[in-house]
Chain A
Amino acid sequence: MRYKIAELLNKSVIKIVLAIVLGFLVGAIALILAGYDPIASYSMMITSIFSSPQNMVQVLILTMPNILTGLSVAFAFKTGLFNIGGEGQYLVGCMAAVIVGGELKMPPVINIIVIMLVAILAGGLYGALAGLLKAKFGIHEVITTIMLNWIALYFNNYLISVPGIGVKNTQYSIAIKQNAWTNILSNWKTSSSGKAYLASHHTLATILLGTDINYGLIIAIAAAIFIWFLLYKTTFGYQVRAVGLNKEAAEFAGIGVNKNIIMTMFVAGGLAGLAGALQMAGSAPHALSTLATEPGYGFNGITVALMANSAPIGCIFTAFLLSGLQFGGSTMQMNLGTPSEVVNIMIGVIVFFVAVASMFTMLSEKIKKRRVKNAD
């Protein structure tokens, strides 16, 4: 029996589940110490997600950028790189999407594809820049990407102040042209026939009119499957993983390590950039806004990737989990006054326990040892 527990502790999935449980536990302790009711808070968090179709859809909408930034971090991890630059690459994708989608007039379907490609390219180049600095100058990507995050943030604010891109006297830029929006049935639901239909179909109305429901999520899931295929079935993926597992052996076998770093960061940046494009195309105000701090999708990506142990398909699920936690946290604050930062603490704890996953391994070994000693 004890041996079975020890074996279980060693499995990666169990370690992650344990980390999540511990995150909830510590969060509960923090709440109790601060004088809030953890049970009420947690049940509000969880039930609020499912309390209305509108809320469920909201969580789904929040999940899309998290999947993509999670993939961005996970893919880079596979080659041994820590991409903290998801924030900046996301913003660069937003900026590219808005400039192309807002200034240029293109026919529908073509325009959204062009916008996505431009955003992927822009985000990819921004990521590749960090890759280049690492490959050529050996500068750690953690520092360069963080610097690039801030630069992108301030550049975003600067763009809004530029006439022609920013809208005068507002905090926003021009918006992407409406025919590029990815919202589901966006034209129909505002037409007269649509409005008439929705008047008698209440649930559908709350979803279509009350949220920004868009098909970005489908693209994000498709991206996850594509990244999985890229990583495990192609020669590029083989190269990425070989370098990540043993850079020196890969170099010795003739694999171009520096080229690999740059290309991997390009893919990672492109994924985050795509998140930016889909966010602009899918959610109001469909435009850039003046920011005081980072929007946070890039950092979410780190949590998503770590919780999924960098597995591309796993990122889909951990992204849902994260979105659920964050959504639940804000409703919890709205309805009960509980600080939403408890969710940040929970996330910090989860990441912490994922980092010390070896603790579970060590515990597992200790249990096994006791058994061996008894057997002698």
Chain B
Amino acid sequence: MKDQQYAVEMQSICKYFDNFCALNSVDLKIKKGSVHALLGENGAGKTTLMNVLYGLYTPDSGKILINGQHVEMKNPNVAIEHKIGMVHQHFKLVEKFTVVENIILGKEVVKAGCVLDIHKARNEVKKLSETYGLDVDPDAKIEDISVGMQQRIEILKALYRGVEILILDEPTAVLTPQEIEELISIMGKLTKDGKTIIIITHKLKEIKKSSEYCTIIRRGKYIDTVDVKDTTEQQLASMMVGREVNLIVKKEKAKPEDVVFKIDDLTVEDSRKIERVKNFSLSIRRGEIVGIAGIDGNGQKELVEAITCLKKAKSGKISINGTEVQNTSPLNVIEHGISTIHEDRQKRGLVLDFPVKYNFITEKYNKPEFSNRSILNEKAISKFTEDSIKEYDIRPEDCASKPAKALSGGNQQKVVIARELSNDPDLLIAFQPTRGLDVGAIEFVHSTIVKHRDSGHSILLISFELDEIINVSDRICVLYDGQIVGEFQQGEVDEELIGLLMAGGEEKNEI
């Protein structure tokens, strides 16, 4: 029968969160034994759809068929019974537990009722990992292992439960190019074994490399399902966004002048006294954008925290305009001309419950422009807010007294950028500045960064999206394991080489 070709069929799925419609009558058909990509922008609804399939959410209406059979996905246990497994974008691992404990959690290997039999469990895990080539250390604690290994454990969790339909949510976000190749080959092994794989992603390149089919979702609505080999990246992008997309950033060549920012031999430890930034050195000139390429977890976070004095540097010097600012205070760093767009705008960038106007002055509230002998100058604050809203086109226009959490992600980021740029910083640090933003907002952020450069300032751009680094930077440094392992001027970019260096490989010298 035709239907049994489909491992998964989702029919007219609707899902509301209070008044917000996350999924609007979405259909999905996944062929057994295929790799099927689910493509959409951030917030399009792809993860929500898969959470419905996995039983984490109950749909408000619609049907789910597994291998032709109608199933009520009341909770993950039902999904697990039907051999569906999900590897989430943010790993669901208990950090203090060991690998084995994480894998067996919920389906423990026991003797005498409920006493754990770790020995037996360890052997079962070893067997599984050897069968599929997923290399893990069973007794290691999650908090001590690499991100790549954590992902393998998530896949093992699913295999341990006999998964036949595996959902991977943004699996390549945290992997090096080499690890991505490994993952694609693992996926191949699984599909050869008859398993079905659904991969949620917004990375066009990976879809082209790994998937047979692709379903596009936009703003909660089903758009189309295509054969990947017959569709170009440009076409996929247009369907994802709904209009023609400009994938290149427009800018002139940089004209760097004297050195304005210097890091000398910087070493930074993390909270567990492990060195994350090792003897790191970097110079940035006035009028250039320096991009740091690297996989998440290679020291970027600790580097930014050391520069902004949120964390102590173990040794080394950081100077701006000739003044040393390492190990002083966040306020001191800001006052010397370094402003930062932080990767986590909701945690570090904004006080979400404060009205928008108060978010503009978090760094300046006690300065004479905004306060008079300790009393806040509401008039000045309001004027500054209105001016910024106009200049950066922040919507809605009357948001000054509304809490910042009412704004969309893109507009929240605009508030942060407006605030940081109003300091007229000599160095702007942009750490993952376009995380979670839609294409329109991304274009805005990039052009703002270029404008800041063109008015004689410098930018340090740190991003986990290699495309962003390559498009925006004038000069690219590759960060691996806390050190710079390669440097490229714009125009000399060799993407394959950068990928290799990001993974810790070494440049091969042709003989």
Point out residues on A near B: beta carbons under 8 Å: 233-236, 238-239, 241-242, 245-246, 248-256, 365, 368-369, 372
Distance A235 CA – B376 CA, assembled complex (angstroms): 6
Q: Taking chain B's interface residues, is the majority helix, strand, or loop, or is none over half, making it mixed?
A: loop
* A229, closest chain B residue (CB): B375
* B378, closest chain A residue (CB): A233
* B14, closest chain A residue (CB): A376
Most buried by A among B16, B347, B363, B365: B365
A245 touching B376, Cβ below 8 Å: no
**Across-interface contacts of B329 in A (CB, < 8 A):** 254, 256
A/B interface sample: 18 pairs, CB < 8 A:
A233-B375, A238-B358, A239-B366, A245-B354, A246-B347, A246-B350, A246-B351, A248-B347, A249-B349, A249-B350, A249-B362, A251-B330, A252-B330, A252-B342, A253-B330, A254-B329, A254-B334, A372-B19
B354 touching A242, Cβ below 8 Å: yes
**Across-interface contacts of B16 in A (CB, < 8 A):** 369, 372
A-facing residues in B339-395 (Cβ within 8 Å): 340, 342, 347-354, 358, 362-363, 365-366, 371, 374-376
**Across-interface contacts of A233 in B (CB, < 8 A):** 375-376
Which of A241, A245, A255, A369 is in CB contact (< 8 Å) with B352? A245
**Across-interface contacts of B19 in A (CB, < 8 A):** 368, 372
Q: Taking chain A's interface residues, is the majority helix, strand, or loop, or is none over half, making it mixed?
A: helix
**Across-interface contacts of B348 in A (CB, < 8 A):** 248-249, 252
Distance A233 CA – B375 CA, assembled complex (angstroms): 6
Chain B residues with a Cβ closer than 8 Å to the other chain, count: 29
Within the complex, what minimum Cβ distance (angstroms) separates B332 from chain A?
8
Distance A235 CA – B361 CA, assembled complex (angstroms): 11
Which of B18, B308, B366, B371 is in CB contact (< 8 Å) with A252? B308
* B358, closest chain A residue (CB): A238
**Across-interface contacts of A235 in B (CB, < 8 A):** 365-366, 371, 374-376
B347 touching A249, Cβ below 8 Å: yes
**Across-interface contacts of B333 in A (CB, < 8 A):** 254
**Across-interface contacts of A255 in B (CB, < 8 A):** 331, 362
* A237, closest chain B residue (CB): B376
**Across-interface contacts of A251 in B (CB, < 8 A):** 310, 330
A250 touching B363, Cβ below 8 Å: no
* A230, closest chain B residue (CB): B374
Distance A248 CA – B352 CA, assembled complex (angstroms): 12
* B367, closest chain A residue (CB): A235
Q: B18-37 toward A: CB 8 Å interface, digit per residue (1/0)?
A: 11000000000000000000
Within the complex, what minimum Cβ distance (angstroms) separates B456 from chain A?
24
Distance A234 CA – B349 CA, assembled complex (angstroms): 22
Which of B18, B310, B352, B375 is in CB contact (< 8 Å) with A365? B18
A-facing residues in B419-466 (Cβ within 8 Å): none
Top 3 A-B pairs ranked by shortest CB distance? A254-B331, A253-B362, A235-B366
* A246, closest chain B residue (CB): B351
Distance A238 CA – B360 CA, assembled complex (angstroms): 13
**Across-interface contacts of B330 in A (CB, < 8 A):** 251-254
A254 touching B363, Cβ below 8 Å: yes
B351 touching A245, Cβ below 8 Å: yes
Distance A252 CA – B376 CA, assembled complex (angstroms): 21
Q: A242-B351, A254-B333, A365-B18 are in contact. List 15 more A-B contacts (CB 8 A).
A: A233-B376, A235-B366, A238-B365, A241-B354, A242-B358, A245-B351, A246-B347, A246-B352, A249-B347, A249-B349, A251-B330, A252-B348, A252-B349, A254-B334, A256-B329
**Across-interface contacts of A249 in B (CB, < 8 A):** 347-351, 362
- Check A242/B362 contact, CB under 8 A, given A252-B308, A368-B19, A372-B19: yes
Within the complex, what minimum Cβ distance (angstroms) separates B175 from chain A?
28
Which of A234, A253, A372 is in CB contact (< 8 Å) with B363? A253
**Across-interface contacts of A234 in B (CB, < 8 A):** 374-376
Distance A254 CA – B308 CA, assembled complex (angstroms): 9
Within the complex, what minimum Cβ distance (angstroms) separates B127 from chain A?
44
